[in-house]
Amino acid sequence: MADRPLSPHLTIWKWGPHMLVSILHRVTGDGMAFLALPMLLWWLGALASGPEAYADFAEAATSPLGYVVLVGISWAFFNHMSSGIRHFVLDIGAGYEIETNKRWSIATTAIGVILTAAFWAAIVLL
């Protein structure tokens, strides 16, 4: 058998915020594909179907569970967007230093939360 190194296992890696952000990027992308897209299509279909269909959608969207889903979708969007910008910067070859990478990973998560809070504050206050 060849003397090639074995693939690293998760137990030898030290957990860090950069790993969490990478996982969240994938999860939020899937969440938007499997939850936000059907929600958008339901909204568009309700708009096209008339007042009764839109009233049904609005009732579901403004229920407590509907608000939880909508806030979750908006957080997924803002978190995925900020993480995507981080990945873009990494793709051009910057930000690979450990401390810089950790700082931007924490900032990415915080920016997602801050943008979600600002978005919903603007909706509620307007």
* Residue 6 CA to its chain's centroid (Å): 33
Going from the C-alpha of 7 to that of each of 10, 19, 59, 73, 83, the distances in angstroms are: 10, 17, 51, 35, 26
Rounded Cα gap, residues 24 and 48, in angstroms: 34
Residue 9 annotated in ligand binding? no
Annotated binding site for heme: 80
State the binding site. Answer: 80
